[in-house]
């Protein structure tokens, strides 16, 4: 099932239409039964309450958004989904360089990610903008150069949202995620090793917040 990217401050709710049970409802005016799915009821209830569920915004940033950051986005999204916490996050990736905007991840990145169960081929590169720092709670730089670029564009009040990606993994011996661009399959696998470990550590650190956010989504759907 496709997953939509939600924005911080809102929640994108995906309803599985193949598992919905039609509910007979008596039409008040014409006196016949109509088949109304649970999705209609849930959607009506959600909008009627005008509830905005705050999600945790996570943005991964590398140079061109065609290697490291899309692999991180795909890995973290999959890990959050397996943990049942995907509804608690708004996940995205971007690059500091605009030279590949609109392009898919490199083929080697797509292959390396797919071998580990992460589908990233549909992603498209975009450039990070100052508004992203206001939108996302955790803006994660793949290396120190990216962090410096982000610090340059961030308002002073939002500097605390910027982090070096590997800083969440206390066991990591890498400060930077090495850029595999132009390398071979081993370079991409090596970068993905660091990325997977970092994403696991990040998810562990954010799980308490995510569980609270996910519970709010569940209450909206009840």
Catalytic annotation on 62? yes
CB 57 within 8 A of CB 137: yes
pLDDT at res. 219? 54
Enumerate domains of the chain plus CATH numbers: 19-49 (no CATH), 56-221 (3.40.50.2300)
Catalytic annotation on 176? no
> Regarding beta strands 23-26 and 33-36, do their DSSP bridges make them parallel or antiparallel, or are they unpaired?
antiparallel
Q: Which of 8, 68, 77, 108 is catalytic?
A: 68
Residue (of 117, 81, 92) closest to 210 by Cα position: 81
> Which residue shows structure tokens 């990233």?
120
pLDDT at res. 5? 41
Q: Tell me the CA distances in angstroms from 103 to 62, 124, 156, one per residue in order.
A: 14, 5, 32
- Classified as helix, coil or strand, 34 is strand
pLDDT at res. 18? 35
| Cα separation, 23 vs 19, whole angstroms | 13
CB 143 within 8 A of CB 176: yes
Neighbours of 163 (CB within 10 A): 15
CB 97 within 8 A of CB 136: no
Catalytic annotation on 184? no
- CB neighbour list of residue 2: distance below 8 Å, 6 or more residues apart: 14
Long-range contacts of 150-156 (CB under 8 A, 24+ apart): 150/61, 150/96, 153/128, 154/130, 155/130
CB 20 within 8 A of CB 39: yes
Tokens of 128: 């990070």
Tokens of 88: 């608690």
pLDDT at res. 215? 74
Task: Give mean pLDDT in consecutive 10-residue pieces for the chain, a chain of 222 residues.
Answer: 39 33 35 40 41 81 98 98 96 97 98 98 98 97 98 96 97 95 97 98 96 68 50
CB 53 within 8 A of CB 132: no
Q: Which secondary structure element, helix H or strand E, spans residue 98, and what is its range?
A: none
Tokens of 76: 């973290």
Q: Which of 8, 62, 86, 132 is catalytic?
A: 62
Q: Which of 135, 145, 176, 179 is catalytic?
A: 179
Tokens of 176: 């930077």
pLDDT at res. 217? 55
């Amino acid at each position: 099932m496709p997953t939509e990217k939600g924005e911080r401050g809102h929640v994108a709710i995906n309803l599985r239409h193949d598992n919905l049970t039609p509910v007979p409802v008596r039409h008040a005016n014409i006196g016949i039964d109509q088949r109304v799915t649970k999705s209609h009821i849930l959607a009506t209830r959600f909008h009627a309450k005008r509830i905005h569920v705050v999600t945790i915004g996570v943005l991964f940033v590398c140079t061109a958004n065609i290697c490291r950051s899309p692999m991180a986005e795909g890995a973290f999204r999959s890990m959050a989904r397996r943990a049942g916490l995907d509804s608690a996050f708004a996940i995205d990736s971007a690059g500091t360089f605009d030279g590949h905007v609109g392009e898919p991840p490199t083929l080697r990145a797509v292959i390396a990610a797919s071998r580990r169960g992460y589908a990233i081929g549909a992603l498209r590169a975009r450039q990070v903008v100052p508004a992203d720092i206001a939108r996302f709670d955790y803006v994660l730089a793949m290396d120190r150069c990216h962090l410096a670029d982000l610090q340059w564009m961030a308002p002073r009040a939002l500097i605390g949202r910027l982090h070096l990606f590997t800083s969440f993994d206390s066991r990591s011996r890498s400060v930077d995620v090495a850029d595999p661009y132009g390398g071979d399959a081993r370079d991409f696998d090596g970068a993905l090793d660091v990325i997977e470990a970092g994403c696991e550590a990040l998810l562990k650190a954010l799980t308490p917040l995510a569980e609270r956010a996910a519970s709010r989504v569940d209450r909206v759907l009840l």
